[in-house]
Each structure stands twice: as structure tokens, then as C-alpha cells.
Structure 1
């Protein structure tokens, strides 16, 4: 039983790091901080058992930081997410425009008409003047951002939904969209990306 913290501490830290780095939403990130807390408590126990004052102090501090992360992601951000989801659902049943949360667009899956995944939204570019969506920046291919291609996507070519984004473009048409440099995006939707 005395050895349990020595196994739990690195395991919890590695699992929590993967959960938070994956950026899978407020709840997963929040639970990542819960697992981080388990890890930092185990590291603190190891610090006490082994007489390592530095390990104890640093992980006591990290425990406090992790508790703030839990509050932020499982408390505050989760409530914001719940509020935006409820507003989107209510807007579907009431007169007026159907709403979509701008935050829900980042990371959203883009699928074709058959439901096959084409990519993910990495950002949206909007007009400061009237709030219109000018274009979406879509990532296609690669693993973890390595080898991906960024494409500007015409808002006219997509349907924004509560569960994701659907485009009428085929995979071949998607691949023919202009490729954006990661640090040089255009000030307007390129003509080659416009959908009639």
C-alpha cells in the first residue's frame, strides 16, 4: 500500500496531461484537472515519505492550481457551455433565428452530406462591422496538427448545426480549396474558395 502513490502519481499525471492537451471540451478538461489533482496529491505523499521538501512544496502548490482548474472547467466553463446549448435548443423551437455558439464552432467537425468527416474548424473570421461570418478556417489531414492543410471555407457552403457542421462540398472539392499558410490568412474569402 505504501508503494501505491509511486504508481499513481506518474500514471495520473500522464493521463491528465493527455486529457487536457486533447482539448475535447470543458468537461473533459475539467476531469483532466481532477486526475491532475490525484497525481499532485500522490506526488505530495511521495515527497513526505521520501523527505523531499521541494517535491512536497511544488505539488502542494500544483494541487491548489488544479483545484482552480476544476472550478474553472467543471464549474464556470461547463455552466457557460450548458447555457449556450440550451439557448441553441430553445432557438430551434421559437420564432426568430436559430442560434449557434461561436465557441462551439472552434474544433467542430466538418462533415459531407453522407456524414463522412472532412476536417475540423480551427478558427472563424468575422466582420467587425456587422458580425457576419466571412470564412471558416478548416484543418484537413495530418495527425495532431502535423501534416494538416488549412483551407478557407465559404459560409455559404456550410450548414451550422448544434452537433457540428455539414458542407455540400465533396472531399475532392474540399481538397481543391486554396491552402492557407498557418501564419498568413487572407483579409477576405479568396475568390477560389467562393461557392456560387
Structure 2
């Protein structure tokens, strides 16, 4: 029985770590914490069956932390994202400008006017006094953050379309935009 518990603990911990490390959104991260909870209970069981009190106590604490993660990502954060999406949807049917959640900019796809994906937004720089967006930082290429290139896209060149950021240039024009180092972006 202790072997089964240790294999369940190992498998669930690895799967949960993959889900949470991938940063695929609040719900996937929340499901990762559910799986982490199952894993910490299995590690507790392994400690109980093999007489390892340190493993048991560590996983009592880990279970509590994992349950907090479930609340944080499937409770609070999912509701925040749902609220932002509802506001954006309602604004589309109202007079005036349609709204877009600023938090969505950190994961929006950057597309050419023809619909070709050019990269993924990773952040946006906003004026402290004016509250206006100045520029976007867009990641291009690479896998899981390795080998990617960061480029600056001026906000005046961008607009939101169907939840993505659209720009009026193609891939070659995008490739000519200034490259940014990952840890040193322009102040203006």
C-alpha cells in the first residue's frame, strides 16, 4: 500500500507542477492546486504507512497551502477574470467605447491586420500621470520563454480586436521593430 501511495504522490506532484508552472490561466493553475492537494495527501499517507513523521507534518502544511491555492486561483482570481470579461461584454452593447481588461494585455496575442500571429504580449508600459498606454512588450519565438525575442510595439500602432491586439504591419515589418533586452526596457 505504501508503494501505491508513493507512486500516486509522485505522479500527481509532477502533473500539478507542470500545470502550475505553465501559467496557462487561473483555472488551469487552480486545477494544478487541486492535483497538488491530492499529491500532498498521498505523501502524507506514504509518511504514515512508512513511519516518517517529518513527511507527514510537511504534507499537512502543504495540504493547507494547496487548499489556499485552490481558493486563490479557482475562487478569487477566476471571479476577477469573470468580472472583467462580463464588463467587456456588457460594454460592447452600450453606447461609447468598448472596454477591454488591462490584465488581458499580459497574455494577448499580437496579430497583423491580416490575422497572422506575430507574437504574444507580455506587458504594457503605462504613464503614471496620464494613465495612457505608451508601449507594449511582445515576445516572439522561443519555447517556454527560452530563445524568445522581446520587441517594443507603440500603443498608437495597436488596437484591440476580438480580444487580441492588432497592428497594421506584417511579419517582416514586425521583425524590424526595436529588440528589447529582457531586463532593461526604455523609460519613454
TM-score normalised by the chain length of structure 1: 0.91
2:106 equivalent in structure 1: 106
- Is 1:39 the counterpart of 2:42? The answer is no
1:104 positional shift: 0.9
The CA distance in 1 between the partners of 2:65 and 2:161, in whole Å, is 35
Cα distance in 1, alignment partners of residues 162 and 115 from structure 2: 15
Q: Which runs of 4+ in 1 moved over 6 A?
A: none
Consecutive unaligned residues in structure 2, runs of 5 or more? none
Query: Secondary structure at 2:107's aligned position in 1?
Result: coil
Q: How many angstroms does 1:163 deviate by?
A: 2.6
Which whole-Å CA distance do the structure 2 matches of 1:3 and 1:114 have between them?
Answer: 55
Give the aligned partner of residue 22 of structure 1. 22
Aligned match of 2:141: 141
CA deviation digits over 1:30-87, x for unaligned, max 9? Answer: 1110011011111110000111111111111000000000001100000000000000
RMSD over equivalenced CA pairs, Å: 1.3
2:172 pairs with 1:172: yes
The residue aligned with 1:95 is 95
Distance in 2 (alpha carbons) for counterparts of 1:115 and 1:32 = 32
Output the CA distance in 2 between the equivalents of 1:99 and 1:163: 10
CA drift of 1:162 comes to 4.8
CA distance in 2, matches of 1:114, 1:138: 18
Contact persistence 1:88–1:162 (CA under 8 A): no
Which residue pairs with 2:115 in the alignment?
A: 115
Is contact 2:2-2:46 (8 Å) kept?
no
Secondary structure at 2:179 match in 1: coil
Task: Tell me if structure 1 keeps the 8 A contact 2:26–2:77.
Answer: yes
SS in 2 for 1:79: helix
| Alpha-carbon distance, 1:147 to partner | 1.1
Question: Which is further off, 131-140 or 2-11?
Answer: 2-11
Q: Could you list the per-position Cα deviations for residues 116-168 of structure 1 after superposition, in whole angstroms to 9, with x for gaps in the alignment?
A: 32111111000111111100000101111111111110112222145322222
CA distance, structure 2, for counterparts of residue 32 and residue 114 of structure 1: 36
Is the 1:13–1:35 contact (alpha carbons within 8 Å) kept by the matching residues of 2?
yes
Provide TM-score, normalisation by structure 2: 0.95
**Inter-partner Cα distance in structure 2 for 1:103 and 1:65:** 25
Instruction: Output the CA distance in 1 between the equivalents of 2:37 and 2:26.
Output: 16
Measure the CA separation in 2 of the matches of 1:169 and 1:48.
61
